[in-house]
Amino acid sequence: MHLRSEAIVLAIRAHGEHGAIVRALTESDGLQPGYVRGGRSRALRPILQPANLILGDWRARTEDQLPGLTVELIHSRAPLFREPLPAAALDWATALTAAALPDGQPYPRLHSALDGVLSAVEAAPAARGWAVALVRYELLLLADLGFGLDLERCAATGATSDLAFVSPRSGSAVSVGGAYGYEDRLFPLPGFLTQGGAAEWDDILAGLRITGHFLERDVLIGRDAEVLAARSRLVDRLKRAVA
């Protein structure tokens, strides 16, 4: 097995005294794990940071063996970890992707979208410029894993207009008329999820509530609690930032 590719670093786990197991997302070959000799060294720690773009070289004698991985830095996003809010966004986006995707299966749309989210955080660390992109990335990940939301028509009436809610059970939109009497059991549907464009903070937080519910229920079942903790930190910091 030999693979040489650009990749986004998603997760790093210490292995042995000096090494690290790194999981990185490639465009054509999906999520690829590899063992980096000396991965915890002073020279490699700045390279092996979540959200960094690397050139990776994976080599293994058999398909079942964990490949050895050597890395070269292409682009570093490490300076963003000095600021709490951008750091929380990078932590969550990379941890979610590492936890949700199976190894070795290509998800080119997710690779492109994740790179777009990380670049948006880098370009606009104040959050207004990237929060909408993050919600859309979560929706895309749900869809590509087979848990997509149906926000085009009302689950109760079939109507395609006046869509104002989302059912927490089915993930389908519900119109004003279809929701009558059950509004308090449904998620408010923010307009930017169906109409595109920018969004106010209340709508962004509403979007995060929707995606968070379905990610936890359908994708992150039984996953490391630290993954969900990363999302809680991000949402808490967003709420404080806009309060």
d(CA 183, CA 193): 19
pLDDT at 17: 83
| Contact status, residue 211 vs residue 93, Cβ threshold 8 Å | no
d(CA 243, CA 116): 27
d(CA 78, CA 218): 31
Q: Is residue 166 scored above 80 in pLDDT?
A: yes
d(CA 195, CA 190): 9
Q: Which domains does the chain have, with CATH numbers?
A: 1-76 (2.40.50.140), 79-243 (1.20.1440.120)
Nearest Cα residue to 172 out of 156, 153, 192, 150 = 150
pLDDT digit string, tens, across residues 16-67: 888 999 999 999 999 999 999 999 898 999 999 999 999 999 999 988 889 9
Nearest Cα residue to 104 out of 56, 51, 33, 4 = 33
pLDDT at 126: 73
Provide the whole-model pTM. 0.94
d(CA 214, CA 144): 13
In sequence order, what are the beta bridge partners of 30? 26
pLDDT band at 177 (very low <50, low <70, confident <90, very high): very high
DSSP string, 115-169: HHHHHHHHH-TTSTTTHHHHHHHHHHHHHHTT---EEEEETTT---SSEEEE-TT
d(CA 150, CA 175): 12
pLDDT digit string, tens, across residues 219-243: 998 777 789 899 999 999 999 988 7
